[in-house]
């Protein structure tokens, strides 16, 4: 038996949803994680500070009494977002970041930004006040192949934006390509990237070989193997610009297993076990804490969590459910396709 003690991790990109789904999933995150950046793509989205305050209250109400988990709230950027409201949200301590979804890029993103020019007043204010922009880095242009959308976004949207507003802090969320990793590595400041658990484990074959497997479908979609290897190298390097954002995104099974299935993979419950496996495979267990517990808080200007968790590796594989039951319906849990020997004690 091996053990590993690390500072309590945080999740810098999480979908908790609302209502019965929220109640069904929040405990899977709060069991292991101290904080999480909560995505605002509800229906309707979280667009104002008042929306974020009421969503935070619903999250707290869904948590068990005494649970110390802290949701870090974000605003969904629209072409009508009010810079003064964003600044007030940051000053009050409620708002940790603003999220850019290019319109149509993913689940509930139709209200996102079509014309970046219209968002410039808010982005300029954010650069002034040091509030980070979290980006879903994919173009939505129909002509661009889905496997190229991240690379084209960097070239046509992200890089021009960063040249125009070099003081804006940008988190490139769920990086899935070598181009994304190289872009982050090439930048000297104000750019960092989150990486999901599942993109360290699957490539696009998982979705398409031997039958179509909807539970491995997410956005940005998993890419070729050499991209996965670039993500692994970045995550396990210890480089402070890379940290965990699980993008755990629950959908009930009927909405995944159908003619037009939703994008999203549910990993909250087994993320730490999967990550310990990946870091051990890469001979980098000593870098796990930087990725899950140190680099993220440093980037967001927060202290690392004071308390610790212990991961234990046993000979017999750890057991976790294939599905969780929520009040909204069953949600399939990410299957890494290898036995998980590590578990959080």
CB of 10 or CB of 247, closer to Zn ion? 247
CB of 62 or CB of 331, closer to ligand DOR? 331
Q: Kind and range of the H or E element at 207?
A: helix 205-208
Interface with ligand DOR includes 263 (CB under 6 A)? yes
Shortest Cβ distance from residue 46 to Zn ion (Å)? Answer: 13
Q: Among 133, 154, 157, 218, which residue sits at the site for ligand DOR (rule: CB under 6 A)? A: 218
CB of 90 or CB of 271, closer to ligand DOR? 271
Between residue 124 and residue 183, which ones bind ligand DOR under the rule CB under 6 A? Answer: 136
CB of 178 or CB of 251, closer to ligand DOR? 251
* Residue with token string 């979609």: 221
Report the partner that residue 133 touches, choosing among Zn ion, ligand DOR, none (CB closer than 5 to 8 A by kind): none
How many of the chain's residues bind Zn ion (CB under 5 A)? 1
Interface with ligand DOR includes 264 (CB under 6 A)? yes
Question: Please, are residues 318 and 343 in contact by the beta-carbon 8 Å criterion?
Answer: yes
DSSP category for residue 305? P
> What are the phi and psi torsion angles at 41 (to 5°)?
-85, 60
**247 is a catalytic site residue:** yes
In terms of Cβ atoms closer than 10 Å to its own Cβ (0-12, 13-18, 19+), residue 18 is middle
Interface with ligand DOR includes 100 (CB under 6 A)? no
Report the partner that residue 219 touches, choosing among Zn ion, ligand DOR, none (CB closer than 5 to 8 A by kind): ligand DOR
Q: Among 30, 74, 107, 295, which residue sits at the site for ligand DOR (rule: CB under 6 A)? A: 107
Determine the Cα–Cα distance for residues 32 and 45; give it in Å rounded to an integer: 27
Determine the Cα–Cα distance for residues 12 and 171; give it in Å rounded to an integer: 10
Contacts of 20 (CB under 8 A, 6+ apart): 326, 327, 328
DSSP category for residue 307? S
Q: Among 106, 248, 295, 305, which residue sits at the site for ligand DOR (rule: CB under 6 A)? A: 106
Question: Please, are residues 219 and 249 in contact by the beta-carbon 8 Å criterion?
Answer: no
Catalytic residue from among 28, 51, 239, 247: 247
Q: Which residue, judged by CB position, is nearest to Zn ion in the bound state?
A: 247
Which segments of the chain are extended strands (E)? 2-7, 11-14, 35-38, 70-76, 95-100, 133-135, 170-172, 191-195, 242-244, 308-313, 323-326, 329-332, 342-344
Between residue 245 and residue 284, which ones bind Zn ion under the rule CB under 5 A? Answer: 247
CB of 13 or CB of 228, closer to Zn ion? 13
State the catalytic residues: 247
| Residues forming the site for Zn ion (CB under 5 A) | 247
| Residues forming the site for ligand DOR (CB under 6 A) | 15, 41, 106-107, 136, 218-219, 247, 249, 262-264
């Amino acid at each position: 038996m091996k053990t590993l003690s690390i500072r309590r991790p945080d999740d810098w990109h999480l979908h908790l949803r609302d209502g019965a789904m929220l109640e069904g999933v929040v405990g899977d995150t709060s069991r292991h994680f101290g904080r999480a950046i909560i995505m605002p793509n509800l229906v309707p989205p979280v667009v104002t500070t008042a929306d974020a305050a009421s969503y935070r209250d619903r999250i707290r109400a869904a948590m068990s009494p005494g649970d110390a988990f802290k949701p870090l709230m974000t605003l969904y950027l629209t072409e009508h977002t009010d810079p003064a409201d964003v600044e007030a949200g940051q000053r009050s301590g409620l708002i940790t970041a603003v999220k850019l979804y290019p319109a149509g890029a993913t689940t509930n993103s139709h209200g996102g930004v079509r014309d970046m020019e219209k968002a410039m007043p808010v982005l300029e204010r954010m650069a002034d006040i040091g509030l980070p922009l979290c980006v879903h880095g994919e173009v939505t242009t129909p002509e661009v192949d889905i496997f190229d959308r991240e690379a084209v976004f960097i070239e046509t949207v992200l890089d021009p934006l960063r040249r125009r507003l070099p003081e804006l802090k940008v988190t490139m969320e769920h990086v899935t390509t070598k181009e994304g990793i190289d872009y982050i590595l090439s930048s000297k400041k104000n750019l960092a990237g989150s990486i999901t658990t599942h993109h360290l484990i699957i490539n696009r074959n998982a979705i398409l070989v031997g039958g179509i497997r909807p539970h491995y479908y997410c956005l940005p979609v998993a890419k070729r193997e050499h991209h996965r290897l670039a993500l692994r190298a970045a995550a396990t390097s210890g480089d402070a610009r890379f940290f965990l954002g699980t993008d755990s995104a629950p959908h009930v099974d009927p909405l995944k297993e159908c003619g037009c299935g939703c994008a999203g993979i549910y990993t909250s419950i087994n993320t730490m076990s999967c990550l310990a496996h990946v870091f051990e495979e890469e001979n980098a267990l000593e870098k796990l804490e930087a990725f899950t517990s140190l680099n993220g808080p440093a980037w967001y200007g927060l202290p690392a969590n004071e308390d610790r968790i212990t991961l234990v590796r046993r000979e017999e594989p750890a057991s976790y459910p294939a599905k969780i039951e929520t009040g909204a319906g069953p949600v399939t849990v990410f299957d890494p396709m290898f036995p998980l020997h590590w578990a959080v004690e």
